[in-house]
Amino acid sequence: MGAVVLQVTSRVYRVPVEETNGNIYFYVQEDGLIIIDTGIPGKDGLVLDSIRSLGFSPSQVKAIVLTHYHLDHSGSANAIRSATGAKIYVHRDDAPILEGLVPPQLPKEAPREAVEAYRWFKPVKPDVVLNDGDEVHGLRVIHVPGHTPGSIALYDGEHLFAGDNLNFRDGRVQGPPPLFTADMQRARESVRRLLSLDFRVLLPGHGEPVVGDASARARQDLRELL
């Protein structure tokens, strides 16, 4: 079975990751593309096939941006970097965890299988560490800590790549899952920051994108946080 690449808008494509109901995104520019999140380990072949199916070569990948260090988002980053030569970007506060210098920060209520999955976590040294307000190829970095210390969203005025800060499940926009969120109080504050933005397209970490007046839909679905 070939790669499944779904067009979201003229600039954004999505590669679904069935095992986690997660998403790998391509943000397309004239001379290449940016990969946002990389799925669980072993998805590098899927990503490379997807890139080629869009008419790009692996060498045209301009950046690999991780919204946070969790294994279902960073798991194939190193292999994709090796295949493309692109640099890995992650927020400064998640960099030590991604690099294996600090242990993963999971809540004590986290499912056992999630904790055990980190036995397979292979440290990845990022090439570029990000701060709030930085720009990566036209995308503004928004630091939204809570789910992880260095969780980020990426925003261009129309698209919001939300990471796990906003997800789409059971027919509605939801915040980060408590069982996998290090600090829910900070996470709620971060969600409120994202809800203050106007965006037409929501690209969640998990679940289907929301296209068309997505910020209003998100504020309606999460009105208890406002």
> Which tokens in the block code for residue 82?
């090796």
- From the number of C-beta atoms within 10 Å of its C-beta (0-12, 13-18, 19+), residue 54 rates as middle
Distance CA 194, CA 16 (A): 23
pLDDT digits (tens, 9 = 90+) for 4-53: 899 999 999 999 999 999 999 999 998 899 999 999 999 999 999 999 99
Look at residue 1 and tell me whether its pLDDT is greater than 70.
no
Q: What is the pTM of this model?
A: 0.96
Look at residue 66 and tell me whether its pLDDT is greater than 70.
yes
Look at residue 198 and tell me whether its pLDDT is greater than 90.
yes
CA angle 142, 79, 176 (to 5 degrees): 35
* Averaged pLDDT of the chain: 95
Residues 6+ apart with CB under 8 A from 112: none
- From the number of C-beta atoms within 10 Å of its C-beta (0-12, 13-18, 19+), residue 21 rates as middle
Look at residue 118 and tell me whether its pLDDT is greater than 90.
no
Share of the chain above pLDDT 70, in %: 99
Comparing CA positions, the residue from 172, 136, 169, 174 lying closest to residue 155 is: 136
Distance CA 88, CA 66 (A): 7
